[in-house]
């Protein structure tokens, strides 16, 4: 299984440790193309290879992936773009969201029939969410 994990980089480095745990869980199911999203050393600008190269590389990885797993608690234009492309290409998409006071999920995510959406509070809940998703896809 080839997995593309999406999480906010330029807006969500506060979640880097969580992303690390998510990547660790996902590696049980296959190769995670985007391990760097969970790297706590990755800064808010991401990798220092230039925006065009990041765009082209990431879209290539997404195209080659069997599925997209996206952590959508922190709004991100990039993650939304990746979700849109994955659904357009017919890839299975799982979005995971941590609800909290004052934080609402975009209706473009919660209202899409092409997306599996699961809410969670602690990363320990993700094991079962991932197991269910990979079993059904």
Per-residue pLDDT of the chain (137 residues; tens, 9 = 90+): 999 999 988 776 678 889 989 999 999 999 999 888 866 665 444 456 788 988 999 999 999 999 999 999 998 999 999 999 999 999 999 999 999 988 899 999 999 999 999 999 998 999 999 999 999 98
Does the domain at residues 2-136 carry the CATH identifier 3.40.50.11900? no
Report CA-CA distances (Å) from 44 to 8, 71, 79, 118. 9, 16, 14, 26
Distance CA 137, CA 29 (A): 12
The Cβ-side half-sphere exposure at 21, using a 13 Å CA radius, reads 10
0.85 exceeded by the pTM? Answer: yes
């Amino acid at each position: 299984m080839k997995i593309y994990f999406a999480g906010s980089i330029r807006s969500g480095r506060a979640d880097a440790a969580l992303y690390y745990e998510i990547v660790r869980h996902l590696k049980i199911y296959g190769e995670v193309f985007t391990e760097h999203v969970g790297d706590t050393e990755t800064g808010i600008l991401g990798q220092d290879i230039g925006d065009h190269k990041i765009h082209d590389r990431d879209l290539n990885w997404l195209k080659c992936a069997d599925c997209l797993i996206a952590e959508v608690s922190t709004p991100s234009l990039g993650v939304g773009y990746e979700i849109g492309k994955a659904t357009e290409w017919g890839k299975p998409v799982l979005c995971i969201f941590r609800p909290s006071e004052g934080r609402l999920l975009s209706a473009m995510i919660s209202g899409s029939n092409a997306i599996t959406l699961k809410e969670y509070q602690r990363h320990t809940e993700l094991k079962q969410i991932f197991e269910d998703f990979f079993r059904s896809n």
